[in-house]
């Protein structure tokens, strides 16, 4: 819990380390490619190597909760330690759990992940707004009160996503309504001249969709988490084109593109530094 808003801390981290988020996605093939057993002990060694490589070296680390949950309570213990170790090192984290529900259930998710007594909080949480942006209200407010942030799924690059996100209603596309929701929640931060605490998840591989759907990402004053950079196909120049005038708010995520250099800690760190420098140059940060 901190009194400094998440958007302020994120901007500082991006300015210092470059606009790169390293995703920690310990799926079976990757863990085994490191020569580790695919069990809780291998997961722990994988996570420890990531802390050694990235703590104090990158702007943000984003653990994918599902790859820890698969090992039950032992996996969750590894995730908690990973988040705690990165927090102690001063490295920001986004917990990629994509929680989304309604009423008291969403209130409980908010308490679990961004509340003052959350057992393993990241600095921000990914959330799914497709039960309605308003269903996130308690989560947004609780995150803000504890100095944490949320990243709202807006325009994802999976082919199935377009069926929902590109759909047109009375107020434009569904994706545009998510951007509008973030803009409203970030209005006070914009008036203060700082980056907002409610971010948007927009894939770096969506091509012209941001423009085609008329999404005003710059006006949303939102940090933009952009998966798809690196091994998923988008280069730094592509990121700059996709996000246009809002490129300065982009935090590009790379998981496999960096993690494939493991288990050597020095090689992991060097790969992350290369990507951060490439992105900083392309996005002019």
CA-wise closest residue to 123 among 21, 221, 10, 220: 10
Which residue of the set 48, 98, 194, 273 is catalytic?
A: 98
Q: Render 14-75 in DSSP notation, one character per residue.
A: HHHH-SEEEEE---HHHHHHTT--SSHHHHHHHHHHHHHHHTTTSSEEEEBTHHHHTTHHHH
Residue 253, CA distances (Å) to 35, 136, 236, 245 in order: 24, 23, 11, 19
3-state secondary structure at position 267: helix
Distance CA 22, CA 276 (A): 10
3-state secondary structure at position 144: helix
3-class secondary structure for 160-187?
HHHHHHCCEECCEEHHHHHHHHHHHHCH
24 close to 82: Cβ distance less than 8 angstroms: yes
Task: Examine the residue annotation and report whether 98 is marked as an active-site residue of this protein.
Answer: yes
Provide the annotated active-site residues: 98
């Amino acid at each position: 819990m901190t009194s400094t808003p998440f958007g302020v801390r994120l901007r500082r981290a991006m300015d210092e380390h470059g606009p790169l988020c390293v995703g920690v996605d310990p799926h079976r093939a990757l863990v085994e490619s490191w020569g580790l057993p695919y069990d809780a002990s291998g997961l722990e060694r994988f996570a420890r190597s990531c802390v050694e490589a990235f703590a104090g070296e990158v702007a943000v680390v984003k653990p994918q909760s599902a790859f820890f949950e698969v090992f039950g309570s032992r996996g969750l213990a590894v995730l908690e330690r990973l988040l705690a170790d990165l927090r102690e090192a001063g490295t920001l984290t986004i917990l990629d759990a994509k929680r989304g529900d309604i009423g008291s259930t969403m209130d409980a998710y908010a308490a679990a992940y961004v509340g003052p007594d959350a057992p393993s909080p990241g600095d921000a949480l990914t959330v799914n707004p497709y039960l309605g942006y308003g269903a996130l209200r308690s989560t947004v407010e609780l995150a803000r009160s504890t100095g944490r942030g949320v990243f709202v799924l807006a325009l994802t690059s999976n082919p199935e996503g377009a069926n929902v996100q590109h759909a047109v209603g009375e107020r434009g596309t569904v994706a545009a309504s998510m951007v509008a929701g973030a803009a409203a929640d970030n209005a006070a931060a914009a008036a203060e001249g700082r980056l907002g605490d409610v971010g948007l998840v927009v894939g770096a591989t969506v091509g012209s969709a941001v423009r085609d759907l008329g999404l005003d990402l710059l006006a949303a004053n939102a940090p933009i988490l952009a998966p798809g950079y690196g091994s998923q196909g988008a280069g730094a120049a592509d990121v700059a084109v996709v996000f246009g005038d809002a490129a300065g708010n982009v935090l590009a995520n790379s998981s496999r593109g960096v993690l494939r250099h493991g288990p050597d800690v020095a090689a992991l760190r060097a790969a992350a530094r290369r990507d951060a420098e490439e992105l900083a140059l392309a996005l002019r940060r």
